[in-house]
């Protein structure tokens, strides 16, 4: 009977440690995904403004140069724009919601991208360039905050997961 207690204790410790590592992983992935978005918007700017490609073609080219999950976001947008009679803003928001499930972005990142989607393709090249630069600036601010959070809390969360498991085991013994 004593070995069952120890097995349960080891399992509890393992689970809480894994939860701590998962939270730490989330903190470390958010800056990476924001960086991919910034890269994607920079490529989109070049393709739209200098190559003067359509949004569909620009999204396709952007998707070819990025990694998952950002690649799928732009790829799906490109695919949806091939259809006739679509509402771009609605498609942008639909793909953005799907992207939020596959990435480690926060709600503030979603708001920034939703605002950007509202203006994309609605203005002349100069205004569009300003909107892209403004969105990139907002995303860079978020990336800096995410990097700060990851460095501050990443190791702490890993340790807390282990220590919480140990604390619960001590309470139960």
In a domain, 157, yes or no: yes
pLDDT in tens, 24-72: 888 888 999 999 999 999 998 888 878 887 888 888 889 999 999 999 9
Cα distance between residue 91 and residue 81, in whole Å: 8
In a domain, 66, yes or no: yes
pTM summary value: 0.82
Cα distance between residue 169 and residue 106, in whole Å: 33
User: What is the Cα gyration radius of the chain?
Assistant: 21
Decide: helix, strand or coil at residue 87: coil
- Cβ burial, residue 45 (10 Å; 0-12/13-18/19+): buried
In a domain, 8, yes or no: no
In a domain, 20, yes or no: no
pLDDT in tens, 101-123: 999 898 999 999 999 988 887 77
In a domain, 61, yes or no: yes
User: What total of structural domains would you count in the chain?
Assistant: 1
In a domain, 23, yes or no: no
Domain assignment of residue 102, given as a range: 34-172
Top-confidence residue, 114 or 173? 114
pLDDT of residue 1: 59
Q: Are 117 and 91 in contact (CB under 8 A)?
A: no
pLDDT of residue 49: 78
* Helix ranges, the chain (H): 2-45, 55-64, 70-81, 88-102, 107-119, 125-172
In a domain, 27, yes or no: no
Q: What percent of the chain has pLDDT over 70?
A: 99
């Amino acid at each position: 009977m004593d070995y069952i207690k120890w097995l349960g204790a080891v399992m509890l410790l393992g689970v809480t440690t894994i939860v701590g590592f998962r939270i730490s992983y989330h903190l470390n992935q958010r800056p990476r995904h924001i960086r991919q978005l910034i890269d994607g918007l920079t490529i989109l700017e070049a393709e739209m403004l200098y190559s003067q490609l359509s949004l569909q073609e620009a999204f396709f080219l952007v998707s070819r140069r990025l990694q998952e999950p950002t690649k799928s976001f732009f790829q799906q947008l490109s695919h949806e724009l091939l259809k006739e009679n679509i509402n771009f803003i609605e498609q942008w928001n639909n793909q953005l919601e799907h992207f939020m499930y596959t990435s480690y972005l926060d709600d503030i990142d979603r708001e920034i991208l939703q605002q950007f989607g509202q203006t994309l393709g609605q203005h002349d090249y100069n205004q569009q360039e300003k909107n892209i630069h403004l969105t990139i600036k907002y995303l860079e601010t978020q990336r800096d905050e995410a990097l700060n959070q990851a460095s501050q809390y990443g190791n702490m969360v890993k340790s807390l997961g282990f220590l919480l498991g140990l604390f619960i085991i001590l309470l139960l013994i």
